[in-house]
Amino acid sequence: MTSDSPSPVAAKAWRPETVAVAAGRPAAEADAPLNTPVTFASTYVGSLDTTDGSLGYGRYGNPTWQALEEGIGALEGGQAITFSSGMAAAHAVLELVEPGSTVVLPDTCYLGVAAAVDQRAARYGWTVHRVDVADTDAVLAAAEGADLVWVESPTNPMIEVADLPAIGAALAGRVRLVVDNTFATPLLQQPLSVGADIVLHAVTKFIAGHSDALLGALVLRESDTATFAALQAVRRSHGATPGTMEAYLALRGLRTLPLRLNQAQANAGVLAERLAAHPAVQRVRYPGLPGDPGHERAARTMSGFGSVMSVELADAASADAFVAATGLWVFATSLGGVESMLERRRRWAGELTSVPEGLVRLSVGVEHVEDLWSDLEQALDPLS
């Protein structure tokens, strides 16, 4: 099967837990391996028959990437193409935007994407409208006459929730809608089903899930063959191809995504409530909390609240002291791994100034929740 043939798994309408385990496997034949092997190949044997040899060269395709693409595509309900990182996937989308275009971007979103849009805007004369993605009217007003609307939801690191069904329905067929679904994963929302045109994943995060591989993916509706071909051409010419070993690791990670996310999300729910009650914490940003501005919307549009939250402490010094005092929680700048991680986001010079200085983002992992809480509590208590 090639990456541009429809997935038989999606067609069977299995539940996501089953799809995560069953998609992207070799045909069940005697002595076939259960898992698609790692194929190390910079080139493939050619054929004079042009109906054969769809791979051709190592930069054009690889069976191990294709297995991962089948898995991600089946979970999102579309056709996936993988890249060397989430940022490579983001740049591939931006490469399709013409000079002079108008682009709508969340006022807080992953800083790498914001910087990439700003750089291209300056070079190609784009007009960029920054909007609060939680304000649907503002998104739709900014989208009037736009060429691309980029939504991240929940957002990094402010954990705001967009009304994807409302935005998708209003823009369908009019403006290209890209949704960065990294935080929610395909298990909590499937943007293609509510009108998005392109879904982006930093596969590096939840899908790979073990903090050991960088990868990205884009997922499109099966019918959007023209955009898919354009993205394939960008990947080929930029050489933004996933490592074969990384693709294998990410597919192995995808097998347990439902289990990991369930556990991490259950932990996050408990920790969010306890953090909200701690005197050193001024605010918890987590849509699972009934008082969160995104709660009602997330409850209506997502099938879970995820496992990333942010807490606001008094100032940068308190936040740094908190992060430095944890032991089990790893001070690191990623998310979506089995390991619980936290960091003060404004330590990065490129982070948006609208993000409070004392904001710490927590990516809750799959450890025992009481061990996670003990570590947070002993780090927070001296700051009360």
Contacting range for ligand PLP; rule: CB under 6 A; set: 27-35, 108-116, 245-253, 320-328: 108-116
Q: Does 181 bind ligand PLP (CB under 6 A)?
A: no
The residue from 214, 249, 355, 364 that contacts ligand PLP (CB under 6 A) is: 214
Known catalytic membership, residue 252: no
Query: Judged by CB under 6 A, does residue 110 bind ligand PLP?
Result: yes
For ligand PLP, the binding residue among 182, 211, 318, 326 (CB under 6 A) is: 182
Q: Residue 152 interacts with ligand PLP (CB under 6 A)?
A: yes
Q: Reduce the secondary structure of the chain to three states and give it as a string.
A: CCCCCCCHHHHCCCCHHHHHHHCCCCCCCCCCCCCCCCCCCCECCCCCCCCCCCCCECCCCCHHHHHHHHHHHHHHCCEEEEECCHHHHHHHHHHCCCCCCEEEEECCCCHHHHHHHHHHHHHHCCEEEEECCCCHHHHHHHHCCCCEEEEECCCCCCCCCCCHHHHHHHHCCCCEEEEECCCCHHHHCCHHHHCCCEEEEECCCCCCCCCCCCCEEEEECCCCHHHHHHHHHHHHHHCCCCCHHHHHHHHHHHHCHHHHHHHHHHHHHHHHHHHHCCCCCCEEECCCCCCCCCHHHHHHHCCCCCCEEEEECCCHHHHHHHHHHCCCCEECCCCCCCCCEEEEHHHCCCCCCCCCCCEEEEECCCCCHHHHHHHHHHHHHHHC
Active site residue 110: yes
With contacts defined by CB under 6 A, how many residues of the chain interact with ligand PLP?
14
- From the candidates 132, 180, 292, 375, give the one annotated as an active-site residue: 180
Question: Any contact of residue 92 with ligand PLP (CB under 6 A)?
Answer: no
If one asks whether residue 310 binds ligand PLP (CB under 6 A), the answer comes out as: no
Instruction: Decide if residue 156 touches ligand PLP (CB under 6 A).
Output: yes
Q: Which residue of 16, 216, 253, 358 would you call a contact of ligand PLP, by CB under 6 A?
A: 216
End-to-end CA distance of the chain: 58
Report d(CA 380, CA 189) in Å as an integer. Answer: 33
Catalytic residue among 44, 57, 59, 274: 59
Contact call for residue 213 and ligand PLP (CB under 6 A) = no
Mark whether 59 is an active-site residue. Answer: yes
Report which residue's Cβ sits closest to ligand PLP: 86
Structure tokens at 214: 């960088």
Comparing CB distances to ligand PLP, the nearer of 87 and 146 is 87
Check residue 87 for interaction with ligand PLP (CB under 6 A). yes
Q: Which is nearer to ligand PLP, 85 or 102 (CB)?
A: 85
CB of 183 to ligand PLP, least distance (A): 6
Pick 7 or 108: Cβ nearer ligand PLP: 108
Say whether residue 311 binds ligand PLP (CB under 6 A): no
297 is catalytic: no
Q: Which residue number, 152 or 163, has a Cβ lying nearer to ligand PLP?
A: 152
**375-384 per-residue burial string, b: 16 or more CB within 10 A, e: under 16:** bbeebbeebe
> Of 11-19, 106-114, 159-167, 363-371, which segment contacts ligand PLP by CB under 6 A?
106-114
Nearer to ligand PLP, 182 or 340 (CB): 182
Q: Which positions are catalytic?
A: 59, 110, 180, 205
Q: Which residues bind ligand PLP (CB under 6 A)?
A: 85-87, 110, 112-113, 152, 156, 180, 182, 202, 204, 214, 216
